Structure 1
Amino acid sequence: MLQHLLANAVREAVVMNGTTVNAHIEHANGAEGLSADRQQRLLRGETMAQFADIAYWAGHFPTVALALTRYVTSWHPALGALHDPGARSPLDRPPRSSMR
């Protein structure tokens, strides 16, 4: 699911910037693992995404970072409060009373 979300978010971000994945990769200055062919396979789900891929795309497009962050924080109820500042998180605990 994470790779599917990454692929969709990348495609949307690239289109919003008026370019293509191939054109964007050409400007990556030959960074290792960022060949246009590999990235196309990754975005089609034929090649497994690695952390470096997620970091690259999230670092270049804030909308990709936001989409991935929202998805990952949905995995645990305590992290859901990150999206709603008024929500009470299970991580919020009352102060400990003094020991007797």
Structure 2
Amino acid sequence: IIVFAFLAGFYSVGNPDGPLAFWCSLIPFTSPIVMMVRIPFGIPLWEKLLSLVLLYGTFILISIVAAKIYRVGILMYGKKPTFAEMIKWMSYK
């Protein structure tokens, strides 16, 4: 994912207003790199704010899901969980 973000940032230098640059600046895993390339070329404020909101929202959502999985998984005492068990753990309170 990081390599793709660097490549998208590299190609965004040539066309900072193109569709690849626009969509990669909204995807939370690529937005920090691509936005650093696009900001010097002057982009609208709403794109900067939307990118930040999506990035922070994704961070909070992933943190909540990881906390739920960790809370249940810490009690497994060495047993390897399956993917289905981890999905089930996300629904526990």
Higher RCO by CA contacts (8 Å cutoff, separation 6 or greater): 1
Bigger share in helix = 2
Confirm or deny a common fold (TM above 0.5). no
TM-score (norm 2): 0.28
